Amino acid sequence: LQLLTAAEPKIASAHLALGEIYLYSGDDKKALTMSEDALKISPESVNAIQLYTEALFRNQGKEAAKLFIDKQVNHYADNQLLRQYYA
């Protein structure tokens, strides 16, 4: 996945997969970077928003994660899946 994200930087799913691996293996800084990259590629992706929120929480704490998710829910107000995640 590292090679794929380097060779094909526009594939959001590769960044998400690698970000999840980093997050669940405890490498929170790399998880934040990968999820941020995925979010830049696909800003409306609920998976990218979720992963970035989790990584942000682990890196910067509850308030930073809450501010981010509040902004996303307001920006994508019609996205029911995002609203379910937020609830």
pLDDT of residue 87: 67
For residue 69, which phi and psi values (nearest 5 degrees)?
A: -70, -35
Q: Which residues contact 56 (CB under 8 A, 6 or more apart)?
A: 32, 64, 65, 68
Q: Is 53 helix (H, G, I), strand (E, B) or coil?
A: helix
What integer is the mean pLDDT of 66-75? 94
Kindly report the pTM of this predicted structure.
0.88
How much is the mean pLDDT over the chain? 93
pLDDT band of 31, cuts 50, 70, 90: very high
For 41-69, what is each residue's pLDDT tens digit? 999 999 999 999 999 999 999 999 999 99
